[in-house]
Chains A and B, each alone.
Chain A
Amino acid sequence: MSFWRRLIHSSAFYPIACITVLALLSLPVRYFFVDGYLDQGPYLYQILILTGINIILAVSLTLINGIAGQFSIGHAGFFATGAYVSAFITVTLGPHWHRWFSSATPVSSWLSDSGLLLFGTLGAALATALAGLLVGIPSLRLRGDYLAIVTLGFGEIIRVLILNIDAVGGARGFVGIPKLSTFFWVFFFVITTISTVYNVLHSSYGRAFLAIREDEIAAQAMGVDLTRHKVMAFVISSIFAGVAGSLFAHHTMYLHPNTFTFIKSFEIIIMITIGGLGSIEGAVLGAILLTILPEAFRGFDSFRMVIYALVLILIMIYRPQGILGRFTLWNKRRRKAP
């Protein structure tokens, strides 16, 4: 094998290539969008970041709803947990952090900010993993509508809890969160989420999830441990919802419990349903569409949400399986006939 082919086939190739491209992109993004070289730069940047966060949410929910077939409508709960936990960490730790890690030069300040963001995100991931474990366990006994109600309840419990915790602002909202989310980190985690879910899907774990979706009794008879795999799907998925929450908190710099109502959960469900339930590509497409459409329709003024709703209804009528259905982009190559 030539050097190039070996390079492309090595496991480290894709991650390193992605990070390099991201790093190269992040400078022009900063110049054109953040610093406002383009007219609408900051506005477009806002949409770009929110698209990234929504992709993380949608792809992670696909693992539970689309791949493992457990209908959960509590994703906003995990999102909120992640956002508040990481914001609490960075707000309390922030002042000390910058004393420990100097931020005199641009490079060291980037490193110190990124370190703080990653630290907060790690905390968010741990907290939401625990929350995923807690919700995953009742899901063993419940199916379909019943599970949906339990997860809905979980999401609301989280919201009401936050509403009553004064340390994170309660009903006033959580202010003073440092701006740490950058284009680089948001899309770094977008890539991490997609590749994690993709790799899990194309392994024996993923096949077990699919089997649970298709037929639980047959899956068990083939040796699939339902308990383990259902909890696992919930934990992996909720970890990434927590990561998305952390990025969201450090992008908007302000959190309010009203952002995390069950309507947010439904928004994510609509994304994955429109894109194609069970397809990672579909989740990405759905997230992009549902973030951009409401903005693109701003020209319609007060009819904006009506047209948005109409588009969703039309998609569901003409394409009930979602835009992409269960389409997978990279599968053909792996499946050469023997």
Chain B
Amino acid sequence: MNELKLSNVTREFGGLVAVQKLDLQVGQGELFGLIGPNGAGKTTVFNLITGVYSPTHGSIEYSQKSIAGLAPHQIAACGIARTFQNIRLFAGLSVLDNVKLAMHQKRKQRLPSVLFRSSSFKQEEQQLEASALRLLEIFGLENLCHENAGNLPYGSQRRLEIARALATQPKLLLLDEPAAGMNPQESLELMKLIKGLRDEFKLGILLVEHNMRVVMGVCERIQVIVHGETIAMGRPEEIRRNIKVIEAYLGKDS
């Protein structure tokens, strides 16, 4: 079972407790939403899972293996890929190179075959290029593949980030506010895309999002955190009616 399991995870920054005794579980092929007001610690949870930070207490397991404290590239090798809230594409590189780069860890080429451009090296490069193009086609970016990633319009950059994350062939995909800055039409398309991805690639998806329409429309299970603590968990319709959640978002007297 490729299952992500955080138990009792706490992360402190000096005196500030960003995440407190958090339990979180994302099953295989599940669409899971993590929501909360600004500063609730959602992105910190992402950074804990992907190894940017290591937890102060608690354990993070993936496929029954502890991944807490591993370096980001090791976690990526376990099959967890992510996108970033503030887009972090390789802006100076072409769209195609962005995706090819992410296929990096599955490479078989070694330095000698690179230096002498052996036929196995050339073959692998061709395969890489072909599968990168196939992936870009899914996202409708194949016509832009020689463009610099930094020159793409905003919505395409978001989609390229997801494409790049998928190129690492993950089993679990972490999306950090994929709908940020998108108009209603674009976010509708994004919802379709996310569902389609799950079905096509058999991925687990952990989604952090502010856009409630996207979260409610896509996720099967939602967990709400405030000040780094879980206040509610359940199906979208349960969350929508949950008093504590309404209070957290709108204030007590509303």
Contact = CB atoms under 8 A, between A and B. Distances in A.
B72 A220 contact: yes
Interface in A323-338: 326, 335, 337-338
A258 B90 CA distance: 41
Interface in B32-91: 50-52, 71-73, 76-77, 81-82, 84, 88-91
A224 B73 contact: yes
A203 B90 contact: no
Contacts of B250: none
A1 interface: no
Interface stretch (B97-105, B178-186, B191-199, B211-219): B97-105
Interface of B: 50-52, 71-73, 76-77, 81-82, 84, 88-93, 97, 100-105, 107, 109, 111, 114-119, 121, 125, 128-130, 133, 146, 164-165, 167-168
A149 B165 CA distance: 35
A177 interface: no
A332 B58 CA distance: 51
Nearest to B105: A223
Interface residues of A, number: 29
A200 interface: yes
B90 A211 contact: yes
A82 to B, nearest CB: 20
A214 B93 contact: yes
Given A207-B101, A217-B88, A338-B130, 14 more contacts: A200-B114, A202-B125, A204-B101, A204-B104, A204-B107, A207-B100, A214-B91, A215-B88, A220-B72, A222-B164, A223-B73, A224-B73, A337-B146, A338-B133
B101 A199 contact: no
Contacts of A224: 73, 101, 104
A11 B119 contact: yes
Contacts, number: 102
A222 B115 contact: no
Nearest to A214: B90
A221 interface: yes
Contact of B92 (A203, A214, A222): A214
Interface in A200-255: 200, 202-205, 207-208, 210-211, 213-215, 217-226
A196 interface: yes
A217 B103 CA distance: 16
A256 to B, nearest CB: 34
A207 B104 contact: yes
A11 B112 CA distance: 13
Interface SS, B side: helix
Contacts of A220: 51, 71-73, 76
Q: Give the 6 A-B CB pairs with smallest separation, nearest first.
A: A223-B76, A223-B105, A220-B72, A214-B90, A218-B88, A203-B114
A203 B109 contact: yes
A222 B104 contact: yes
Given A204-B107, A211-B90, A222-B164, A199 B115 contact: yes
A211 B101 contact: yes
Nearest to A226: B73
A222 B168 contact: yes
Nearest to B87: A218
A217 B133 contact: no
Contact of A225 (B73, B92, B115, B128): B73
A210 B101 contact: yes
B123 to A, nearest CB: 12
B101 to A, nearest CB: 4
Contact of A221 (B81, B121, B128, B129): B81
Contact of B111 (A205, A213, A215, A225): A205
B114 A218 contact: no
A203 B97 CA distance: 11
